[in-house]
Structure 1
Amino acid sequence: MHRLAEELRLPVNGLDYTILALYFLVVLGIGWAARRSVRTSLDFFLSGRSLPAWVTGLAFVAANLGATEILGMAANGAQYGAYTVHWYWIGAIPAMVFLGLVMMPFYYGSKVRSVPEFLLHRFGPASHLLSSVIFAVSSVLIAGVNLYAMAIVLEALLGWPQWVAVVVAGVFVLAYITLGGLSSAIYNEVLQFFVILAALIPLTVVGLRRVGGWDGLSSSLSAAHGEDFLRPWGGTGIGEANALGANWLTITLGLGFVMSFGYWTTNFAEVQRALSARDLGAARRTPLIAAFPKLLIPLVVVVPGLIALVLEPGLGRAGSGLSYNDAIPVLMRDLLPSGVLGLAVTGLLAAFMAGMAANVSSFNTVFTYDIWGAYVRRDRPDAYYLATGRWVTAAGVLAGMGTAFVAASFGNIMNYLQTLFSFFNVPLFCVFVIGMFWKRATAAAGFWGLLSGTVAAMVNYFWLYRQGVLAIPSDQGANFVSSIVAFAVGAVVMLVVSPLTRPRPAERLAGLVYGTRAPGAQEPPAPGDDAWYRRPALLGWGTVVLAAACYVPFSL
């Protein structure tokens, strides 16, 4: 595994460790309290579909606020500059709004317990089993990213051996999910959201003061890297060179459409939070509520990456001993005093545990319901599946510990994560969106579209890009192209196969295809849901307008 430089070791003391210990105690306390609400498998896997929208909304954004955000996006900020904001304002917000306004009525209205289960109803067992296996593999790999990121940080900052950091975090995640199921994970994610912000906001404020505010930061970076480094759309014309290695077309189609929509609308680690809401209105508002804090996350994640590049100009350069992933640890070493340092370390640990818990809790649901319960041990008592879920949770944590070593080969973990998303989430989104809007799409088309899209993305990345057949200037550019290829190939295969195979009867598509409605699926609005500030359309389009407005200051 990659080892951070010894010079990153932090001068932590008893106060810092006390803050860390208190956090662990609270985490276990939440799991212990949540255990009383777990009586059935639905309680364990989906919180009994009983949670309010503000809780599921914060958990929705916190589930993504793991290593992807804290280390990965700070690393992207240091490596790619302001281009990184595209992952938020065009690469997240529109897809989150689409999920809330368009897709949640299908998910929640059909009463499915997981994303792959929707494919079972729409396309049949072949697509269901394939998507379940793909998701189970990807969730374990992504859980490993969070463990790996946490291990290298704690080794460098606190001197903990990597195996100790992995075991400690894994044991605590295992304990609170096994005790309280998804409710424990979600309430811990709400806590972790505020702990993470309490750690990152001081880091950003102190960092900006050190570099002379935004004017000082922009002057330093423009002088060293050019003016386009702080202009999200600067130098993105087709044929122009830029730090990201992508043009406006690959950014809007590759990231803004297929990769973004593929992740936010089909990734069960996120959708599971919305499915645990107490009614359809709350489920629809879940990603829309999450979109508002998502708009502002770049201020405390991307900006610190830019600050770290000014304070440590050798970041990411050969021979410096520091990779782009070290941006946040560098700032913690240089800027934070004791006490605040302990809070920052706790915030990092909270982020890693939130990301891992989100993937483990979704893994145990998909494996138990969609693989074990559907194809291995059918029609067993509910208590059997509840017990199975707890055992599968342990297996998922152990598998995540193993896959942590896979992430070690990537100097920027965001590149690794985006590669996984292009392989697994984009083909799944292609099948979903075509199946939801085209009645003629058949079961065979769903299976072969999913399989061909996945294979096409892998071929593009491992052969055309890695072997130099295509001249793509960066890993991120290759991921955008892989996403476009995966969606295009999957769509073409579905369009070709569907007319050649028999469609499902129209009555079996009720509530699964746009323009149809399942009998009894329409719920009356919950008390208070007709208030103007709770209307999904207002929340959704409001965040889209705000996301577009966020680009304006970078264009002045």
Structure 2
Amino acid sequence: MNLNSLDMAVFCLYGIALVFIAWWVSREKAGHQKNAEDYFLAGKSLPWWAIGASLIAANISAEQIIGMSGSGFAIGMAIASYEWMAAITLIIVGKYFLPIFLAKGIYTMPQFLEDRYDHRVRIIMAVFWLGVYILVNLTSILWLGALAINAITGFDMVYGLVFLAVFSIGYSIYGGMKAVALTDIIQVVLLVFGGFLVSYLALDKIAEGNGAWQGFSILLAEMPEKFDMILDESNPNYVSLPGLSVLLGGMWVMNFSYWGFNQYITQRALAAKSLAEAQKGIAFAAYLKLLMPIIVVVPGIAAAMLAPDLSKPDQAYPEMMKLVPHGLLGITFAALVAAIASSLGSMTNSISTIFTMDIYKQMINPNASDKKTVLIGRSVALLSMIIAVVVAKPLLGNLDQAFQYIQEFTGFFTPGIVVIFLLGFFWKKATASSALAAALGSFILSTLFYFLWPELPFMDRVGLVFILCAALAIAISLLTDGKDQEKAVDLQGIEFKTKTSFNIATVGVIMILIALYVAWW
């Protein structure tokens, strides 16, 4: 696929506009010095539409667009469960988790862990998250983004890595969370437009010019197996999506960890004007998640009909992009880069927030001024990106499936993290020692199951380890103390009642999900 001069002009215009808008929305009034709350939490001023759009822009990157489209090619619509189950997870997070975080007035997830447990839990988890965010998430987004650009344009991998790093830092490092969140509006508009365009053209191609709906009907009729939402054990892809575990098992643990207790995601909601505004943003993001399969999965299923002989499933999305005419191709390419850049900008901002607020301000310079704190945050964002560029190829260059690298590594720790937060929220007897035991037990148990029970599906392993870690944490709490903890969350003082608009949105999400799963069970 070749981008012509018109495509490149469109793409360059997008890049220039994004950097300018990021600078413009981040500017300060004369005489005002940007402080830590401004830089890391956008001055707690984000409106609902910015929160919802930024949540999706941070979430959707190359691994989702290329990887999930590839899974659509190989597996079918069943992979959409990752998106659709995330929608209901967001609603739960908005109603039950977010009120606790906002009531605590925290900047970071480790900060909450100190408020609820003790300083040891905060520092250990801060160091853990920094390692994962830099060496797993940031590195993977960069590498997979460069791979996507290489597949579409032939641009050399090294140049792709450097370009993505410089571009994302260029628009996010100065303004911090405000620049990231408000420019994500542009990113999401591009992402949705580009995704719908690719899906429309692919389906129209199937229908031989008779429209996308006709093409979708043909796809349903000729490839019905691609629309099985719940796979049975005879399906060769059962190990990836093990039947009802998708609805009732380990996926809930993975989703709660990602959407509820992940600094990279939750920081947007922490920056809201108010709890009600944050919940509206969460609901908006939930509806955007319902749309995502149309953008990232349908092109892959269409490719299974139009180009069934692709050597690798991950070639499906780039192959479908070939249907886009020049000019619009530039916009579609910009949408892909937008998804990658927004995820990179969001990740570096979260890394800088955790390091600055949980490590630097706690252990190095507790009395640092706001000016010094913001400077450290910017420096850490830049340094983390440099590290990710340097280690990307050594870590990921020899892997066939880089996305699997993310899932497998984080899956060793996810069950313990969810146990720590859920017990911290809703069980007053949970102790700091039980939290540390859950974190360590998650890694040990996951490792044992990985080597001793390799045929156990990844998702089932996550669910089983979660149950065992919860039992371990409860047992340790009861045996070592057995009484309500002084730092336990006082749920009586937290407002869990939601507004009518949020409740209506919740019913809408549930009804849509029921209809989708009933239709394609």
TM-score under structure 1 length normalisation: 0.86
Q: Take 2:151 and 2:291, find their aligned partners in 1: how far apart are those partners?
A: 29
Instruction: Kindly provide the amino acid, as one letter, of the partner of residue 470 in structure 1.
Output: P
Alignment of 1:193-342 (within 5 A): 193-212=188-207, 213-222=215-224, 227=225, 229-233=226-230, 235-236=231-232, 239-245=233-239, 246-315=241-310, 320=311, 323-333=312-322, 335-342=323-330
For the pair 1:549 / 2:501, whether they are aligned, the reply is no
For the pair 1:385 / 2:351, whether they are aligned, the reply is no
Q: Which residue of 2 aligns with 1:17?
A: 8
Q: Take 2:514 and 2:57, find their aligned partners in 1: how far apart are those partners?
A: 23
Q: Which runs of 4+ in 1 moved over 6 A?
A: none
1:115 to 103, 109, 112: 109
Alignment of 1:37-56 (within 5 A): 37=28, 39-56=34-51
Q: Take 1:392 and 1:189, find their aligned partners in 2: how far apart are those partners?
A: 22
Confirm or deny: 8 A CA contact 1:154 1:160 kept in the other structure: yes
Q: Which piece of structure 1 moves more, 296-305 or 30-39?
A: 30-39
Q: Which residue of 1 aligns with 2:211?
A: none
Confirm or deny: 8 A CA contact 1:19 1:343 kept in the other structure: yes
2:184 to 186, 189, 192: 189
Q: Which residue of 2 aligns with 1:4?
A: none
Alignment of 1:115-514 (within 5 A): 115-140=109-134, 141-212=136-207, 213-222=215-224, 227=225, 229-233=226-230, 235-236=231-232, 239-245=233-239, 246-315=241-310, 320=311, 323-333=312-322, 335-405=323-393, 406-461=395-450, 463-464=451-452, 469-472=453-456, 477-478=457-458, 480-502=459-481, 508-509=487-488, 512-513=489-490
The structural deviation recorded for 1:219 is 4.1
Q: 1:152 to 1:86 in 2, by over 3 A?
A: same
**Deviations along 1:313-367, whole A, 9 cap, x unmatched?**
233xxxx3xx22221111112x121111111111111111112122111111111
Q: Which piece of structure 1 moves more, 81-90 or 298-307?
A: 81-90
Q: 1:432 to 1:326 in 2, by over 3 A?
A: same
**Deviations along 1:280-302, whole A, 9 cap, x unmatched?**
21122222221011111101111
Q: 1:357 to 1:458 in 2, by over 3 A?
A: farther
For the pair 1:66 / 2:61, whether they are aligned, the reply is yes
Q: What CA RMSD, in Å, does the superposition of the two structures yield over aligned residues?
A: 2.2
**Deviations along 1:172-198, whole A, 9 cap, x unmatched?**
211222211111111121110001112
The structural deviation recorded for 1:206 is 0.8
The structural deviation recorded for 1:169 is 1.3
Confirm or deny: 8 A CA contact 2:78 2:229 kept in the other structure: yes
Q: Take 1:168 and 1:503, find their aligned partners in 2: how far apart are those partners?
A: 55
1:540 to 472, 494, 506: 506
TM-score under structure 2 length normalisation: 0.92
Confirm or deny: 8 A CA contact 1:87 1:255 kept in the other structure: no
Confirm or deny: 8 A CA contact 2:415 2:469 kept in the other structure: no
Q: Which residue of 2 aligns with 1:99?
A: 93
Gaps of 5+ in 1: 1-9
Q: Take 2:438 and 2:466, find their aligned partners in 1: how far apart are those partners?
A: 9
Gaps of 5+ in 2: 208-214
Confirm or deny: 8 A CA contact 1:262 1:428 kept in the other structure: yes
Q: Which residue of 2 aligns with 1:5?
A: none
**Deviations along 1:70-115, whole A, 9 cap, x unmatched?**
112112211221211211222x122111110000010011001111
Counterpart of 1:404 in 2: which secondary structure? helix
Confirm or deny: 8 A CA contact 1:292 1:543 kept in the other structure: yes
The structural deviation recorded for 1:424 is 3.4
Counterpart of 1:51 in 2: which secondary structure? coil
Confirm or deny: 8 A CA contact 1:177 1:393 kept in the other structure: no
Q: What is the aligned residue count? A: 507
For the pair 1:34 / 2:37, whether they are aligned, the reply is no
Instruction: Kindly provide the amino acid, as one letter, of the partner of residue 546 in structure 1.
Output: I
Counterpart of 1:364 in 2: which secondary structure? helix
Q: Take 2:366 and 2:483, find their aligned partners in 1: how far apart are those partners?
A: 24
Counterpart of 2:173 in 1: which secondary structure? helix
